[in-house]
């Protein structure tokens, strides 16, 4: 029988081309994907509250229908229908607007469950347009799926129900039975059925536990396998040119930078004939670029080519210009991004395959098929969490097992690092360049934004610059401040100052110009979306103001804050948020209390769980799907299990590991072929 992952979604009964397209947008391409498309949250109808005990905005009650009043029209042409219900103790009025069919669906003297929003105005409690179901309905925990304009959560639920009937009675469970027993995990079929349509809360928890465990175990095994089957490599560096590189720098490297460089150089000398596979982790501003540049320089001076990949054009360009200046003519360096002109691009491609370019810096453009190297010796990826392992692998495949250096400024908590970076050796830069001052951080509400702006004005009058970050580009239906409007209004307000706008929808040239003007001090305030989040370096800027700060994860805020405090001036970060929610406030307060990225990362993980840790960005191969679920304890359990399995059966050939092997092949694709061929 073919795998359900091989059956396209439009083969499912009831799904036409339109729905299939909407589903593909949600990442659901096959029936298997649909079954693995877990609910975002659930409506719990299983524990209704008494009417007298209603205390939340959204709730579920169980009550008899006493009376249904006839529809009446109120002003604005709305039709109102009132249903009076009683739970044996108290009465409650339920109101439906413009829904004349309700009285055909609800009968008086019958008991129902109602789930809806409570309105508390005019001293009277009413429930507004609740959903309802008979009290004996079988499923009382209703899944809520991520939806889009083409398909609703309800529709998805219906199709999932269909899809689940296609599962064979006995499904092969990737987690071997002895492990399931040891960690008290339910079987796969039970888990899949109950993650979608839980029988009760405890079944739902069983399902979540089991699926989280599985997901983490697969990640650990996939990464562990990669690590234990490192590729042979004959690329070795004879001479260490790091001292020569240091002499080019306008500053003295810190001890931590030197240590990281030495660790890399040792790998490059390649005594064991295995390629370097190293992560350099260091807080924002710790000077990772210098380390990477030094390694590129050493590799290039030994006659090998280097590919340096950055996640955004801005960053690639910045690295390019600073390295070009540093190296002058001692090594040949070029830039390749999506906006490189055809003619220039062809020249670069030729020079690369002829070996006339020593270091190529670029974006994802570097992994396209037509990029060929003569003798690629080193691949560097900056801000590694922005790239998947597959993209890394693609770039590596352009040489004969070149060395790999990845850099990350998102400090990743140790437990999580084991999962997403399990295949890498790690160097930590735990020291900041000297004379850095702490960036003072404040959390304010929008009603004192004016004061914040006049503070920014003062800084600019001193010759400094400022960033203002807004979450979105264009004004959407929500009230989030859009960068475009914001920049326009700000320019009007601060007419004597120059305000520029930077966002992801601008083309490369426009972005480059805006960034250049800011870097040269031509513009004083840069209003931007998060495109500036990673890496950008303008040491003269001293204020980072972030609007709707609650929309960002802590690690992301820390990244943004890292854009200031990079020079010799005292810097400030202003977080603007009107959210009253206590948890959100606590989260944002963490930013005001510490500047230490590792501490922030630990807090972020604890507060939001691994599923949300990296925000929407890709952070490896597969996203953690079980958001908001505290699986932190499983991080270590699954690591233990993965190690045990690999130590007994390192190519997963035992019969009890057959299903596990198949799952890893599915999730890791070509990346796993290195060890699971
Ligand atoms: P990140 O680690 O966030 O990538 P960068 O490499 O962009 O940090 O470095 C941040 C800033 O610090 C840059 O302006 C860089 O020139 C400067 N810098 C790096 N190392 C040192 C050092 N040892 N002494 C002084 N300044 C340094
Ligand atoms: Mg950087």
**Band (628; pLDDT cuts 50, 70, 90):** very low
Any domain includes 148? no
Closest among 120, 130, 64 to 97, alpha carbons compared: 130
Q: How far is the CA of 289 from the centre of ligand 1 (A)?
A: 7
Q: Is the CB of 535 under 6 A from ligand 1?
A: yes
In a shared domain, residues 371 and 256: yes
pLDDT at 311: 83
Q: Do 256 and 225 fall within a single domain?
A: no
Closest-CA residue, ligand 1 atom 9, reads: 287
Among all bound ligands, the one having the nearest atom to the CA of 287 is 1
Index of the ligand 1 atom closest to the CA of residue 567: 14
Residue that finishes a domain, picked among 594, 624, 651? 594
Q: Each residue of 150-170: pLDDT tens digit?
A: 999 999 999 999 999 999 888
Is the C-beta atom of 530 inside 6 A of ligand 1?
no
Burial class from Cβ neighbours inside 10 Å (0-12, 13-18, 19+) for residue 18 reads: exposed
* Ligand of minimum distance to the alpha carbon of 558: 1
Distance (angstroms) between ligand 2 centre and the Cα of 165 equals: 50
pLDDT at 138: 83
Q: Which ligand has its closest atom nearest to the C-alpha of 322?
A: 1
Residue 603 belongs to some domain of the structure: no
Mean pLDDT check: name the lowest of 69-83, 100-114, 241-255. 69-83
Query: Does the beta carbon of 287 lie inside 6 Å of ligand 1?
Result: yes
- Residue 622 falls inside a structural domain: no
576 and 447 fall within a common domain: yes
**Are residue 496 and residue 537 in the same domain, yes or no?**
yes
Ligand nearest to the CA of 285: 1
Integer-rounded Cα radius of gyration of the chain = 29
What is the number of the ligand 1 atom nearest to the C-alpha of 322? 16
Beta bridge partners of 441: 573
Q: What percent of the chain is modeled with pLDDT above 90?
A: 51
pLDDT tens column, 401-448: 899 998 887 777 766 776 666 667 889 898 888 878 889 999 999 999
Mean pLDDT along residues 146-151: 88
Q: Find the range with the poorest average confidence among 26-30, 289-293, 388-392, 404-408.
A: 388-392
Secondary structure (H, E, C), 541-552: EEEEEECCHHHC
Query: Do 345 and 411 have their domain in common?
Result: yes
Q: Do the domain assignments include residue 573?
A: yes
Name the β-bridge partners of 528: 469, 502
pLDDT in tens, 529-543: 877 656 577 899 999
Residue where a domain terminates, one of 83, 115, 134: 134
428 CA from centroid of ligand 1 (Å)? 15
CATH number of residue 94's parent domain: 2.40.50.140
| Ligand 1 touching residue 439 (CB < 6 A) | no
- Domain containing 540 equals 440-594
Same domain assignment for residues 425 and 444: no
Number of domains in the chain: 4
Q: Whose CA is nearest to atom 20 of ligand 1?
A: 287
For residues 450 and 560, state if they share a domain. Answer: yes
Mean pLDDT of 102-110: 88
Task: Specify the 3-state DSSP secondary structure of 220.
Answer: helix
- Confidence at residue 615, expressed as pLDDT on a 0 to 100 scale: 46
Same domain, 85 and 186: no
The alpha-helical segments, DSSP class H, found in 61-200 are 102-105, 153-165, 177-182, 188-196
Query: How far does the centroid of ligand 2 lie from the alpha carbon of residue 510, in Å?
Result: 22
- pLDDT per residue as tens digits for the range 436-456: 888 999 999 999 999 999 999
Indicate which atom in ligand 1 lies nearest the CA of residue 291. 6
User: What integer best gives the mean pLDDT of the chain?
Assistant: 87
Q: Tell the residue nearest (CA) to atom 19 of ligand 1.
A: 287
Would residue 330 count as lying in a domain? Answer: yes
Tell me, yes or no, whether 162 lies in a domain. no
- 293 and 394 inside one domain: yes
> Do residues 173 and 187 lie in contact, with contact meaning Cβ atoms separated by under 8 Å?
yes
pLDDT of residue 504: 76
347 and 297, same domain (yes or no): yes
608 found inside a domain: no
Closest atom of ligand 1 to CA, residue 429:
2
- CATH number of the domain where residue 578 is located: 3.40.50.300
Using 50, 70 and 90 to split pLDDT, how confident is the model at 77? confident
Residues 454 and 364 in one domain: no
- Measured distance CA(448)–CA(291) in Å, rounded: 42
> Looking at the structure, do residues 391 and 466 belong to the same domain, yes or no?
no
Protein residue closest via CA to atom 27 of ligand 1: 433
Evaluate whether residue 161 is within a structural domain. Answer: no
Question: With contact defined as beta carbons under 8 Å apart, do 32 and 5 qualify?
Answer: yes
| pLDDT for residue 224 is more than 50 | yes
Alpha-carbon dihedral of residues 265, 269, 271, 275, nearest 10 degrees? 80
Using a 6 Å cutoff on CB, does residue 288 contact ligand 1?
yes
Q: Examine the pLDDT at 616 and tell me if it is beyond 50.
A: no
Mark which of 594, 617, 647 sits at the end of a domain. 594
Q: What is the DSSP letter of 374?
A: S
For the question of whether the overall pTM of this predicted structure is more than 0.75, the answer is no
Q: How far is the CA of 13 from the centre of ligand 1 (A)?
A: 57
Q: What pLDDT shows up at residue 450? A: 92
């Amino acid at each position: 029988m073919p795998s359900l992952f091989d059956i396209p979604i439009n083969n499912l009964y009831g799904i036409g081309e339109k729905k299939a397209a909407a589903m593909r947008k949600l990442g659901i391409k096959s029936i298997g994907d649909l079954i693995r498309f877990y609910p975002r949250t659930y409506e719990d109808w299983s524990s209704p509250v008494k009417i007298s005990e209603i205390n939340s905005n959204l709730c579920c009650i169980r009550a008899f229908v006493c009376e249904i009043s006839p529809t009446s029209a109120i002003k604005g042409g709305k039709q109102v229908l009132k249903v009076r219900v009683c739970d044996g103790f108290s009465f409650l009025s339920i109101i439906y607007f413009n829904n004349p069919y309700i009285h055909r669906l609800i009968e008086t003297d019958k008991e129902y469950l109602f789930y809806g929003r409570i309105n508390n105005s005019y001293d009277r409690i009413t429930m507004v347009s609740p959903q309802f179901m008979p009290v004996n309905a079988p499923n009382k925990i209703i899944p809520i799926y991520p939806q889009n304009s083409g398909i609703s959560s309800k529709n998805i639920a219906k199709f999932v129900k269909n899809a689940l009937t296609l599962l064979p009675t006995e499904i092969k469970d990737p987690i071997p039975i002895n492990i399931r027993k040891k960690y008290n995990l339910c079987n796969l079929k039970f888990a899949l059925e109950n993650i979608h349509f839980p029988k009760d809360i405890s079944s739902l928890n069983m399902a979540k536990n089991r699926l989280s465990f599985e997901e983490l175990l697969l990640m650990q095994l996939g990464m562990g396998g990669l690590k234990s089957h490192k590729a042979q490599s004959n690329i070795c560096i004879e001479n260490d040119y790091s001292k020569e590189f240091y002499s080019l720098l306008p500053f003295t490297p810190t001890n931590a930078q030197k240590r990281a460089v030495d660790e890399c150089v040792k790998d490059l000398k390649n005594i064991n004939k295995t390629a370097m596979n190293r992560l350099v982790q260091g807080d924002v501003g710790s000077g990772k670029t210098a380390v990477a540049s030094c390694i590129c320089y050493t590799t290039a001076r030994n006659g090998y080519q280097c590919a340096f990949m950055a996640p955004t054009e801005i960053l690639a360009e910045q690295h390019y210009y600073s390295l070009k200046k540093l190296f002058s003519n001692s090594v040949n360096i070029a830039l390749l991004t999506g906006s490189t002109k055809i003619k220039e691009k062809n020249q670069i491609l030729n020079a690369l395959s002829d070996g006339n370019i020593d270091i190529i810096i670029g974006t994802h453009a570097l992994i396209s098929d037509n990029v060929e190297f003569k003798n690629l010796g080193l691949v560097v990826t900056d801000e590694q969490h922005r790239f998947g392992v597959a993209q890394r692998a693609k770039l590596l495949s352009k040489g004969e097992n070149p060395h790999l250096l990845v850099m990350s400024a998102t400090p990743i908590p140790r437990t999580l690092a084991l999962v997403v970076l399990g295949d890498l050796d790690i160097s930590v830069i735990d020291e900041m360049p000297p004379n850095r001052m702490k960036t003072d951080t404040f959390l304010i509400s929008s009603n004192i934004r004016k004061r914040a702006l006049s503070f920014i004005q003062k800084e600019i009058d001193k010759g400094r610059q400022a960033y203002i970050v807004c979450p979105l580009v264009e004004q959407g239906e929500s009230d989030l401040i859009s960068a475009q409007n914001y920049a326009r209004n700000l320019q009007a307000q601060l007419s004597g100052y120059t305000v520029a706008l930077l966002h992801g929808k601008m083309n490369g040239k426009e972005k480059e110009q805006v960034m250049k003007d800011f870097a040269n001090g031509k513009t004083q305030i840069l209003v931007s979306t998060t495109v500036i989040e990673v890496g950008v370096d303008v040491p003269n800027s001293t204020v980072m103001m972030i609007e709707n700060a609650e929309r960002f994860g802590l690690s992301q805020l820390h990244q943004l804050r890292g854009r200031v405090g990079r020079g010799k001036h005292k810097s400030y970060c202003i977080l603007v948020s009107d959210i009253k929610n206590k948890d959100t406030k606590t989260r944002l307060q963490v930013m005001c209390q510490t500047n230490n990225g590792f501490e922030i990362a630990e807090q972020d993980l604890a507060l939001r769980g691994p599923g949300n840790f990296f925000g929407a960005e890709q952070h490896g191969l597969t996203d953690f799907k079980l958001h908001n679920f505290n699986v932190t304890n499983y991080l270590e359990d699954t690591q233990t299990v993965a190690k045990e399995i690999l130590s007994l059966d390192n190519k997963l050939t035992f019969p009890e590991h057959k299903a596990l092997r198949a799952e890893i092949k599915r999730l890791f694709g070509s990346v796993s072929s290195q060890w699971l061929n």
